[in-house]
Amino acid sequence: MEKITEMTVDFSGPKSPFPHFWETVIGSEGADFPLREDLLSHYQEVKEKFGVQYVRFHGILHDNLGVYKEDNDGTPQFNFEKIGRLYDNLLDIGIRPFVEFSFMPEALASKDTHIFFWRGNTSPPKDYKKWEALIKAFVEYCVKRYGKKEVRKWYFEIWNEPNIGFWSGTKEDYWRLYDHAVKAIKDVDPYLRVGGPASAGGEWVMEILEHCKSENFATGGSSSPIDFVSYHGYPTDKGYIVGGKPFEYFGLDFWRELSKLNYEIVKSFDKSGEIEIHVTEWNMSVRLWDIEQCSTNGAAYCCQAINDVSGYVDTFSYWTVSDVFREMGFPDKEFHGGFGLITVHGLKKPKYWAFELLHRLKGPRIPVSIENPIKGVGAIATKPKDGLALLIWYFDPIYYNSLKDISLNMPPNFPPRLEDTSRNTSQEPVKCSIKCLNLPSGKVKITKAIIDSEHSNILHIAKNLGINMDSFPNEKELAKLKESNFLYEEKTQSEIDSKYEFEFLLTPGSVIFLQLEI
């Protein structure tokens, strides 16, 4: 039986704000990577194209940046020369750091516990006063180098996912880590913005607010400041406790439910509305080396997730901007299923084009009513100055059905690869009928952009060119790929009489954008 859905957009309908909260912050890998020219070019790309303002990455305190040592007497020695170089690189292209304080310098660690290929130390400090001194010296260096006015625009986030394998201490150890770090930062300047817990699976939001409200500040006996809460989520997460109860949502409904729940928790603690909510990691799955990360279905998921969290978060930081990434070792081929919007050699994936189309949703949002709704099909309409913009997608939920039996909680070390696990859909295309009502009559310019199996799809292009998918392309192949790596668009004109109607077949894992310039 043919699937049919009908959508109606009323051009004169009620308007609501639609800030581009998903563009403010974007994730990246190890803190030493902004010293790489290739990754800097990827940052510059998203800055210029989407207006990205902040980049967040792991390991700013890692030993490969030489931040912390101790002399023979155990006296701390600080060196922020590389920090200055990498922050200079970011600020020179107009991007600020969303500072994630991790991981523990080896000389300060109390345990020999590590995570990932590059061995981030997950240990609590052996001396919390020395930890506090390190954070204070770090922030003082930044203020001296860049000025208070600039650094007050940054964010300082304490650690990364301390509720799972990124932290080998207890929850109480984390509160102590947080308290000492926050004291150090606020001692430098009380107007600097601090927060956490950057927890996996949306956990510990209620807990950190309860902790900061209580009088158990580890360094003084008073409550601990918090300017923002942060958390992470992947719709393949399982077994997390959010708001005191197990969070059971998996797959397509995950972000709609999690963001709403944590929003309600924050608002119940913060009647003034001053505490911001930052999701500092999200993607369609926590898995690397899953070819679905390069697929058009990934593009549809980006649209779905952003729609689901709208109104519940202040920022929504996609993980990650680039496949220049080494958590489990460096990639060994171009199309390996990395997290990035952009491949190692700068090719734009379908997810990148989804961000491009989402960026075009200018102006206030107007409602889209949907009859005969179909799971995975959604739409956003906005009212830019020159007309109407409409984005429609069909995320194929079969992707999550195939993962339900896989344990996806992050282990302390390396999850196995899901190498080239392409999945054939059993979903049927949807006949989509669109009515745009109460438009100004007259001539309109119509732009239609398509992301699907044959359009705006670098995997399809590579296969058609006969590229060896098990390696990196050579120089000639890369040039051919870049030449064909663009967003597919059709431009036409039409005469309308206050309404515009059209229909098309929406295939699983596709995104359609329509812009009417009136």
Beta bridge partners of 327: 329
Our CA angle for 111, 112, 116, nearest 5°, is 125
Query: What is the three-class DSSP state of 432?
Result: strand
Distance from C-alpha of 134 to C-alpha of 77, rounded to nearest angstrom: 9
Q: In this structure, which amino acid lies at residue 138?
A: F
Active-site residue 161, yes or no?
yes
Residue 197 preceded by cis peptide, ω within 30: yes
Decide: residue 469, CB within 10 A, 0-12 exposed, 13-18 middle, 19+ buried.
middle
Reported in sequence order, the residue ranges of 319-416 that DSSP labels E, i.e. its strands, are: 365-366, 368-371, 377-382, 387-394
C-alpha triplet 91, 93, 98: angle, nearest 5°: 45
- Residue from 17, 45, 20 nearest 359 by CA: 20
What phi, psi does 358 have (nearest 5°)?
Answer: -60, -35
| Residue 125: strand pairing partners | 109
* Active-site entry in 157, 281, 334, 477: 281
d(CA 204, CA 158): 13
Closest CA to 179 of 121, 135, 234: 135
Bridge partner list, 500: 436
Question: Torsions phi, psi of 127, nearest 5?
Answer: -145, 110
* DSSP-derived secondary structure for 135-200: HHHHHHHHHHHH-HHHHTTSEEEE-S-TTTTT--S-HHHHHHHHHHHHHHHHHH-TTSEEEEEEEG
Please check whether residue 41 is in contact with residue 468, taking contact to mean a CB–CB distance below 8 angstroms: no
Could you give the CA distance from residue 279 to residue 201 in angstroms, rounded to a whole number? 11
Q: Indicate which residue of 132, 157, 161, 203 is catalytic.
A: 161
Residue 153 token pair: 């625009």
Beta strand pairing call for 510-517 and 442-451: antiparallel
From residue 345, give the alpha-carbon distance in Å to each of 42, 55, 473: 10, 20, 9
Q: Which residues are catalytic?
A: 161, 281
